[in-house]
Structure 1
Amino acid sequence: MFATRVLPRNQQLFTRPARTLRHTALRPFSTTELPNGIKLAYDLHEPPDAKEGSSRNAPIIFMHGLFGSKKNNRSMSKVFARDLNRPVYAIDLRNHGDSSHDARHDYTALAEDVELFLQHHGLKNSTLIGHSMGAKTAMVVALRQRVPIANLIPVDNAPVDAALKSDFGKYVQGMRRIEEAGVKRQSEADDILKEYEESLPIRQFLLTNLVRTPEGTHKFRIPIKYLANSLNNMADFPCKDPDEARFGGPTLVVRGTKSHYVADEMLPIVGRFFPKFEVVDIESGHWVTTEKPEEFRKAVVEFLQDRE
């Protein structure tokens, strides 16, 4: 059985006025070199009461979606560190942000990177939070059971093979055109991207990957070729049999009511992989964490506040 909680748009959300975001401690981003040669960049957000070193409370590992980075989760990571008094590691998955580029980009490889990261830092009983690509990565880590995971929060993705929205292919086309044009201003890049995406927030999200070269032109820091070749892998889910792979820990599935990635008909298979799961519906599209950040925060905090 699963439980469903729906958060209305106008629901009043609680805050903790005694603490403010500026009291959370953010170290400059660091990089961990893994035994497989991949370097993962990450931000560590310490809780307000943390002293030297990481808090002893169970850590949260926060993973972004396709074309995202740890920067997308910075504000929410600070909030979780504050509200839950737990350290939050916001990581760049391979081929994203400041992490290594590699031709292989599939969920098994992404999960192995995260497992090696947790082992390197001695992180146990972690909570994994991931959006979209990060959600599937988190689910694969939990199902492989190679590192101790306490709780799981996949955001708007399900443990199934399901085609990506055609938007992602269009984004790749737009980014390729931007690089070919040799644009010198971000406004020029945005003008090109308008032909592929109407939403300004989504265009701004994609353009966070744009960096200036020494020659004065702009290019994307993500390896567009590798990611373009991996779009089919991002639609896949490597764990096929819930009788062979199952995670028994508490699991919160957060889904956008205007998104198709976690449809009602997918919930039975979710329950077979994650028997202790519950669902929170948030009135948003696929970009739940940015479209409705307060509703997302409340759902996560309520789920985790009594768990270590």
Structure 2
Amino acid sequence: MRGIYRPIARLNLRRPSAYLFQRPYSTEQPIPKIETVKMSYNLHKPPNGGGEKQEPIIFMHGLFGSKSNNRGISKMLAKDLNRSVYALDLRNHGESPHAYPHTYTAMANDVEHFIQDHNLQNPTLIGHSMGAKVAMSVALRQPSLIQDIIAVDNAPINAQLGRQFANYVQAMSRIESTSVLNTKEADEILQSYEPLLEIRQFLFTNLLKPTPTNDRFRWRIPVKLLGNALDEMASFPFTPGKDSFTKPALFVRGTRSSYVADETIPLIGEFFPRFELKDVEAGHWVISENVTGFKKVCLEFFKREKET
């Protein structure tokens, strides 16, 4: 029988998170009716075949991301594990519809319906950042739908987001309201908010160029809606000690990231008593910064699950 993972004793204490416990725990207010979004997705099949329905992996991106962010790692995992991988566009991202509200309850509801509508059996959920909290939410809401989760650089906490996300919203709103003539002008605006080229390039994956029917640069994502949802993205609508997922869970954190600080570890254990924690040499963008290291810890996790 698989043992319970409690890696606290072998951790080196790191700088505490600057964002931890700055918001009180609260349960998300019930929504009378949540309209389900039919999400866009890419299906990556194993090279030598394999069932699309049996034990697939469902991959979920972070805030301002899309299914294209996870194309490379999805193909790698499909090949190495002989499992199909569904890379999703969560609501208000990529090619999926725009819909209110943008909450973890709503996104979890979308994913649960996706699993049921596609008749997926015993899937694994992998999510980065915002997608990690979506994976956690599904696990705590509907544990019977899935077999395990991998949460990448996020924790089940109520904590303020870094200021950079609000800056991104301001920059994108400014670009959209300013009649920029080309991507160079758009980048000059964004550069005053975000100096790192890699992150600007990531954000620009959402920028749509002018077309014959629309002569303005505009964003694929609903910037205002997502900007208004930043507080929701900082929250976690579950109660420790009341909600739990007793199946395996892998938490992966970047060694140079503060999103999963050491003091969050006991709380992770309250929600996910069979969790395992692995560090990967990277910042918050774990998968893109160190795809080899990320794939390694994933394969180790799946190998142990198969052996137990």
TM-score w.r.t. length of structure 2: 0.86
Q: 1:276 corresponds to which residue?
A: 274
Q: 1:58 corresponds to which residue?
A: 55
Q: 1:248, 1:124 → 2: CA distance?
A: 18
Q: 2:292 corresponds to which residue?
A: 294
Q: 1:196 corresponds to which residue?
A: 193
Q: Specify the SS of the correspondent of 1:39.
A: coil
Q: 1:150, 1:37 → 2: CA distance?
A: 23
One-letter code aligned to 2:183: Q
Moved over 6 A (4+): none
Q: 1:124, 1:182 → 2: CA distance?
A: 48
Cα-to-partner distance string for 1:38-83 (whole Å, 9 max, x where unaligned): 22000000011116xx445410000000000000001110011011
Whether the aligned pair in 1 keeps the contact of 2:253 and 2:260 (CA below 8 Å) is yes
Give the number of the structure whose residues are more often strand, by fraction.
1
Cα-to-partner distance string for 1:110-158 (whole Å, 9 max, x where unaligned): 1001001101011121110000000000001001126421111000000
Structure 1 residues 219, 149: CA separation in 2 closer, same or farther (over 3 Å shift)? same
Q: Structure 1 residue 169: deviation in Å? A: 0.2
Q: 1:144, 1:152 → 2: CA distance?
A: 13
Whether the aligned pair in 2 keeps the contact of 1:45 and 1:88 (CA below 8 Å) is yes
Whether the aligned pair in 1 keeps the contact of 2:115 and 2:145 (CA below 8 Å) is no
Tell me whether 1:116 sits opposite 2:120 in the alignment. Answer: no
Q: 1:153, 1:37 → 2: CA distance?
A: 24
Q: Specify the SS of the correspondent of 1:115.
A: helix
Q: 1:28 corresponds to which residue?
A: none
Q: 1:186, 1:106 → 2: CA distance?
A: 31
Q: Structure 1 residue 305: deviation in Å? A: 3.3
> Over aligned residues, Cα RMSD in angstroms?
1.7
Q: 1:75, 1:216 → 2: CA distance?
A: 33
Point out where structure 1 has 5 or more consecutive residues left out of the alignment. Answer: 7-34
Structure 2 counterparts to residues 121-140 of structure 1, below 5 A: 121-140=118-137
One-letter code aligned to 1:224: V
Structure 2 counterparts to residues 44-123 of structure 1, below 5 A: 44-50=43-49, 54-55=51-52, 57-123=54-120
Whether the aligned pair in 2 keeps the contact of 1:158 and 1:261 (CA below 8 Å) is yes
Q: 1:229, 1:123 → 2: CA distance?
A: 33
Whether the aligned pair in 2 keeps the contact of 1:259 and 1:284 (CA below 8 Å) is yes
Q: 1:228 corresponds to which residue?
A: 227
Q: Specify the SS of the correspondent of 2:40.
A: strand
One-letter code aligned to 1:152: I
Whether the aligned pair in 2 keeps the contact of 1:115 and 1:147 (CA below 8 Å) is no
Cα-to-partner distance string for 1:208-242 (whole Å, 9 max, x where unaligned): 0001232332110000010000000000000123x
Aligned residue pair count: 277
Whether the aligned pair in 2 keeps the contact of 1:43 and 1:90 (CA below 8 Å) is yes
Whether the aligned pair in 2 keeps the contact of 1:115 and 1:141 (CA below 8 Å) is yes
Structure 2 counterparts to residues 107-256 of structure 1, below 5 A: 107-145=104-142, 147-214=144-211, 215-241=214-240, 243-256=241-254
Q: Specify the SS of the correspondent of 2:294.
A: helix
TM-score w.r.t. length of structure 1: 0.86
Structure 1 residues 50, 306: CA separation in 2 closer, same or farther (over 3 Å shift)? farther
Q: 1:13 corresponds to which residue?
A: none
One-letter code aligned to 1:299: V
Q: Specify the SS of the correspondent of 2:147.
A: strand
One-letter code aligned to 1:2: R
The percent of aligned pairs where both chains have the same amino acid is 53
Q: Structure 1 residue 184: deviation in Å? A: 3.1
Point out where structure 2 has 5 or more consecutive residues left out of the alignment. Answer: 12-33
